[in-house]
Amino acid sequence: MPGGLSAVIDSTTAAALRARGSAKWSAPGPDGYGAGVAEMDFGAAAPITEALTRLTEEAAFGYLPQRLADELGEACAHFQRRRFGWEVDPAHIRPVPDVVKALEIAIAHFSRPGSPVIVPTPAYMPFLIVPGLLGRQIIQVRMRGDAGLFTFDLDAIDAAFRAGGHLLILCNPYNPLGRVFSRGELAGLTAVVERHGGRVFADEIHSPITYPGARHIPYASTSDAAAAHSLTATSASKAWNLPGLKCAQMILTSHADREQWERMGPLASHGASNPGVVANIAAFRHGGPWLEEVLGYLDGSRRLLADLLARHLPQMRYRPPEGTYLAWLDCTAMGLPGSPGELVSERARVTVVDGPAFGAGGEGCFRFNFATPRPVLAEMVEAMAAALVTG
């Protein structure tokens, strides 16, 4: 990775990360390691901190004005066009506080009342919680895995729609499995959804984080049919590490959905903050150089993780992700005396997310965040090996 950012990252120690006091690093205790929460440990891009400084100097801490919402739509649309070749009308982009709120809106206002929600699993944990909070059942559809490469089980998804499901949650790039789906895979999914008159909620929050050999394709960009039946949620929050600032975007590619949005009224989506909006605008417009450096670093780290595991935990199965900074680690061949994520968190003091939290298919696995300085990454793997091999 060129430039000085890698040296700054690698000079950051676990002690310094603990001292920041984030939820990620305080959860494991005073001597532990944080690898559970989906945040990066790489600081922030200068254009973002500068934009937030200006906002602070102006004390612009009121409710979100329309001019900032419009500017956010323009910045997001330009980023989608520049990065993915997707032409989106800025007027079709709405601010929301985060992708989980966007999912709540999609279920409550854009799916058939009372219908079950279809969730491919292993799934990002809130996808298995939010539908129930809204009084909906969940139909889990386990992804098909072949040597760590996960693909849609289209027959099972078809059966889930036939069983009454209406809204399917698509996570692309896929948290926690690291897939970046091909155009052909997305087209196959579209055909099933169309056959049943279904809807898709496309969570594309990790879309800027892809590695050589993979290319993110926005689901709604793949066909007129996909655009008509999908709602897309995205944000700068993962790629530029801004989740606490509360800003995401809902992209409405259907005229009927835009009309429905207007009928909902402003309180249904209220909550995006001025700092979050300003930070997202700065990221989309000026954060490219920082992002490219970080992606280069993450690319090296996902490969380093493979080397570290081969050396210290050779029975642990790992396929470097195509996107995201989240590794899916399969311990089923290790014969461990318990759930591996719990063992790692308790014995190694490396806080991870245990596989069962992700639903069907998560047993014997755990999610591990490798977006941390490489010396710290090596310490984590060594701690895990000491706990699992000799513990």
pLDDT tens, 296-338?
A: 999 999 999 999 999 999 999 999 999 999 999 999 999 999 8
Q: Is residue 117 part of a domain?
A: yes
Q: Cα–Cα distance between 320 and 25 in angstroms, integer?
A: 24
Q: What pLDDT does 264 receive?
A: 94
Domain count, the chain: 2
Q: Is residue 58 part of a domain?
A: no
Q: Is residue 51 part of a domain?
A: no
Exposure class string for 14-51: b at 16+ Cβ within 10 A, else e: beebbeeeeebbeebeeebbbbbebbbbbbbbebbeeb
Output the 3-class SS for 266-298: HHHCCCCCHHHHHHHHHHHHHCHHHHHHHHHHH
- Reading the block at residue 376, the tokens are 């710290």
Of 254, 286, 318, the residue that ends a domain is 286
Same-domain check for residues 216 and 237: yes
Q: Cα–Cα distance between 59 and 187 in angstroms, integer?
A: 47
CA dihedral 150, 162, 201, 106 (to 10 degrees): -150
Q: Cα–Cα distance between 340 and 346 in angstroms, integer?
A: 10
Same-domain check for residues 236 and 87: yes
Same-domain check for residues 89 and 209: yes
Same-domain check for residues 82 and 121: yes
Same-domain check for residues 296 and 268: no
How many Cα atoms are found within 13 Å in the side-chain-facing hemisphere of 279?
A: 26
Strand 144-146 and strand 138-142: pairing? Answer: unpaired
* Phi, psi at 120, each rounded to 5°: -65, 140
Q: Is residue 114 part of a domain?
A: yes
State CA 299 to chain mean position distance.
17
Of 226, 260, 286, the residue that ends a domain is 286
Mean pLDDT of the chain: 96
Q: Is residue 16 part of a domain?
A: yes
Same-domain check for residues 75 and 197: yes
Q: Is residue 50 part of a domain?
A: no
Same-domain check for residues 236 and 359: no
Confidence (pTM) = 0.96
Domain that includes residue 255, residue range: 63-286
Confidence of residue 390 (pLDDT cuts 50, 70, 90): low
Same-domain check for residues 266 and 319: no
Same-domain check for residues 206 and 269: yes
Q: Is residue 262 part of a domain?
A: yes
Q: Tens digit of pLDDT for each residue in 210-256?
A: 999 999 999 999 999 999 999 999 999 999 999 999 999 999 999 99
Of 233, 251, 286, the residue that ends a domain is 286
* Phi, psi at 338, each rounded to 5°: 155, -175
